[in-house]
Structure 1
Amino acid sequence: MANPSPEAPPGAPVEPGAGPRRRAVLDAAPGPLHPVAARTLAAAVDAGWADPRRLHAEGRTARRLLDDARAVLAEGLGVRPEEVTFAPDGPTAVRWMAQGLSYAARRRGARVVTSAVEHSAVLLPARHDAAQAGDRTLARVVPVDRLGRVDLDAWAREVAVPGTVSALLQHANGEVGTLQPLGPAHEACRAAGVPLGVDAQASLGRVAPPRAFDVLAGDATSWGGPGGLGVLVVPDRTRWLLPGPADPDAALHGPSRHLPWVPLALAAAEAWQQTAATRDSDAAEAFALVDELRAVAAGVTDVEVVGDPVDRLPHVLTFSALYADGEALVREFDRHGFAVGSGSACTSSTLEPSHVLAAMGVLTHGNTRITLPLAAVASDRERDVRAFASRIAPVVAAVRAELGATHL
């Protein structure tokens, strides 16, 4: 069979078994590598390949490049370079954030407070540790409203309970986009003497970085950086320590004890600079495009658009269709040339019902998740969104017909 024409517009129907005419990636979590960062990565393989712990010229060059990358990220995050450390990826950074806070305060207790819509890298370890300790009340989960926003009154009560050693709250939800009230949540933590760890995997590079935190975790892919690099910010004021022996190289790579491959750090720093330069305009355009999709999806019978319509990430959307199956929707959109997500964004290897949507009290099945890529890696983003919008109603109808739900 001849290859389909790559020039054909997205959304054009294709014959069963045929490939899509042109792919439109609307599931950019993680997103593609920024093209300038890709060139930096290729160049850095030659310039920064050496072990930065070595004292020879190549090692010193790698050390200087690593320090430069850390300085760029620190400036962008509003912290000092020595407060920036690395992890193998974003979820690991989040797990280390939580583990370091709990371990540093282990003599005061073991109680951890989270919201009900946190990433699995927060919720699963907290539940595991509580179960291992034989006391499930050590992992306290605060409810959210139908928009996905944490209940601040309940949050303040929970963090004030004696024996609480840390509180963990995302900057924004990567599934529905809702921004959390970090300022008031941090104030409640400070009043209780409890440090706040903030998961910013979904938001860094897409909106202004948060300032209300005691430890911050993120993933380079969120701002167009490479995979395989998580970022941790541990301010000097924060008591944070991973279990294990003291590390003689802590001055080089910080308290996380992870020494990244230098080319990855350089590519992440380049992507940060490129993304930061266009962040406001990119966010404004993405916000408007998602607003269009929200309106179109909400106009389809028995489709619910979830998350805060205003106080949200600019590039994230989830809608749920009654009488439809999420996996079938993903397949049908894929057949039309659109890569979309479904299920829980933080356990994306499965299409299990979303714990985020369940916690919000909204429809958990038949959901479709959109994460728009940066315009820098998707020059046809606006056209792709408009084409996708035109296919929402037909695809939902086709899936319902396939499931025999057209008469409902």
Structure 2
Amino acid sequence: MPYLDAASTEPLHPAARDALLAAIDAGWADPARLYGTARRAQMLLEQARTEVAEVLGARPDEVSFTSSGTQAVHLGVLGALRGRQRAGRHLVTGAVEHSSVLHAAEVHERDGGTVETVGVDRTGRVEAAAFAEAVSRPGTALACLQTANHEVGTLQPVAEATEACLAAGVPLLVDAAQSAGRLPIPGGWSVLAASAHKWGGPAGVGVLAIRKGTRWRSPYPQDERERRRVPGFENVPAIVAAAAALRARVVEEAAEGPRLSALVDRIRAEVPRLVPDVEVIGDPVRRLPHVVTFSCLFVEGEALLTELDRAGFAVSSGSSCTASTLRPSHVLEAMGVLTHGNVRVSLPRGVTDDDIDRFLGVLPDVVRRIRSSLGVQ
């Protein structure tokens, strides 16, 4: 089955598999202890931290490992807000942020804080001028902006947001989950979150980076692990594998990124030609190299995914974090585009031209059969 849902989770990279198997034998001990096997685990953990920090443009002591990208976002948002309570209790976010950011914002509101949501244009890009105006308001404690949208692939104006936040003296949390390992990480962030399974590392490893000088207080009870930022025992083998996958992915991306981007361009051009009443969504140029999203009129996304699965293709519809609720995607709603009949195709490393040929060959008949069953000609 061609797997076309890499934006949800990338298949485990071979470098990660090799590193994981080696680290299971060498890095199983408690890295906080002083005996030999523990010191070996600690060395592996710190080497992985150094490698990840280098890719992110951070210092090793600014990087902590969490149990997921979602936990990294929750800790980043709530910790930064808690650390800056004296500056204010106003939070600024984009309308198409990942649900983990929006849920953290809901907690902040329930605790008496305020949240301002900045809208997006029809491509899904946050309006930079409106974002700058929002962060300049008195009492703003934190701003959040993703590097690229997880549903439609549109790149966000992180450089402009960084300038606005610096001018206002407001820290910027950047959610780099979809772009880490695929695109260079923008500078100027104060807090950064990422997720290893998006770049071919094992699931269960997130990254939280906090710049020196950024005020941050953990919303959890204090724990001695991970510089008192993240509670719980570190999964050293998985962290080592995550670092190996990230390092390998960065090296490969110079060739793989343009190749995948060309395949996405082909899908963007061919789907509207082959299937009537289709809207291709997201910025066609300023986008992630591997993501393309389109919506088919008169078709339910769940039915389309089911039929494509039967035809042998693994794709997603809308937000993978809300698909089980059968609610329209908040991203598509904010963009003002079709929210039904939505398909997100996201290409993993190694996907072939033949895979895309087969997908484009199957899709028109799948859509036609679904529409026909609903009485749509």
Deviation of 1:89 after TM superposition, in Å, equals 0.4
Matches within 5 A, 1:100-115: 100-115=79-94
Of stretches 117-126 and 208-217 in structure 1, the one that deviates more from structure 2 is 208-217
1:186 and 2:162 are equivalent in the alignment: yes
Distance 2:233 2:243 in 1: 15
The question of whether the paired residues in 2 share the 8 Å contact of 1:34 and 1:225 is answered with yes
Q: Which residue of 2 aligns with 1:264?
A: 238
1:24 is paired with a residue whose SS is coil
Measure the CA separation in 2 of the matches of 1:179 and 1:362: 17
- Tell me how many residue pairs correspond in the alignment: 375
Equivalent of 1:309 in 257, 276, 284:
284
Residue among 216, 224, 228 paired with 2:204: 228
| Aligned counterparts of 1:83 and 1:381: Cα–Cα separation in 2 | 38
Give the secondary structure class of the aligned counterpart of 1:189. Answer: helix
1:203 equivalent to 2:179? Answer yes
Q: How does 1:85-124 map to 2 (within 5 A)?
A: 85-124=64-103
| Match 1:215 to one of 188, 191, 203 | 191
Secondary structure at 1:338's aligned position in 2?
A: coil
Q: Structure 1 residues 171, 259: CA separation in 2 closer, same or farther (over 3 Å shift)?
A: farther
Alignment match, 1:26: 4
Larger mean CA deviation between 34-43 and 61-70 belongs to: 34-43
Q: CA deviation at 1:249?
A: 4.5
Partner of 2:294: 319
Q: Using the TM superposition, name which of 257-266 and 288-297 deviates more.
A: 257-266
Indicate whether 1:166 and 2:142 are aligned. yes
Residues 157 and 323 of structure 1, relative CA distance in 2, 3 Å threshold: same
Please tell me the residue identity of whatever aligns with 2:331. Answer: V
Query: What residue in structure 1 maps to residue 52 of structure 2?
Result: 73
Which of these residues, 209, 219, 239, is aligned with residue 215 of structure 2? 239
Give TM-score scaled by structure 2 length: 0.96
Counterpart residue identity of residue 244, structure 2: E
Deviation at 1:113, TM superposition (A): 0.4
Per the TM alignment, residue 124 of structure 1 is displaced from its structure 2 partner at its CA by 1.9
Match for 1:223: what amino acid? W
The Cα shift of 1:238 comes to 1.5
Tell me which amino acid in the other structure corresponds to 2:366.
V
Q: Is the 8 A contact 2:317 2:344 kept in 1?
A: yes
Cα shift at 1:244: 4.7
The TM-score, its normalising length taken from structure 1, stands at 0.89
Q: Which has the larger radius of gyration?
A: 1
Secondary structure of the structure 2 residue equivalent to 1:51: coil
- How far residue 245 of structure 1 moved from its aligned partner, in angstroms, is 5.3
Task: Give deviations 1:278-300, integer Å, cap 9, x for gaps.
Answer: 11211101100011011111222
C-alpha spacing 1:119/1:269, structure 2 compared with 1 (3 Å): same
Give the direction of change, closer, same or farther, for the CA distance of 1:247–1:124 in structure 2 (3 Å limit): closer
Question: Deviation string for 1:270-321 (max 9, x for gaps)?
Answer: 1112111111211101100011011111222110000000000000111001
Aligned-pair CA distance for 1:336: 0.6
Cα offset for 1:248? 4.1
Deviations 1:183-231 (A, max 9, x none): 1111111111111000011111121222231111000012110100000
Alignment match of 1:396 (pick from 346, 349, 367): 367
How far residue 257 of structure 1 moved from its aligned partner, in angstroms, is 4.0
Distance 2:370 2:359 in 1: 16
Alpha-carbon shift at residue 41 of structure 1 (Å)? 0.6
Specify the SS of the correspondent of 2:288.
coil
Relative to 1, partners in 2 of residues 1:294 and 1:90: Cα closer, same or farther, differing over 3 Å? same
Of 36, 40, 49, 1:57 maps to 36
1:113 counterpart SS class: strand
Q: Counterparts of 2:258 and 2:184 in 1: how far apart (Å)? A: 13
- When structure 1 is superposed on structure 2, of 215-224 and 347-356 the one drifting more is 347-356
Distance in 2 separating the partners of 1:267 and 1:292: 33
What code does the residue aligned with 2:5 have?
A: D
Given that 2:225 and 2:232 are in contact with CA atoms closer than 8 Å, whether structure 1 keeps it comes out as: no
- Which among 288, 293, 297 is matched to residue 262 of structure 2? 288
By how many angstroms is 1:131 displaced? 3.4
Percent identity between matched residues is: 49
Give the partner amino acid of 2:362: R
| Matched residue SS, 2:148 | coil
Match for residue 156 of structure 1?
132
One of 116, 119, 123 as aligned partner of 1:143: 119
2:325 and 2:184 map into 1 onto residues whose CA distance is 31
* Rounded Cα–Cα distance in structure 1 between residues aligned with 2:255 and 2:225: 40
- The one-letter code sitting in structure 1 at the alignment partner of 2:196 is A
Q: Distance in 1 between matches of 2:242 and 2:224?
A: 26
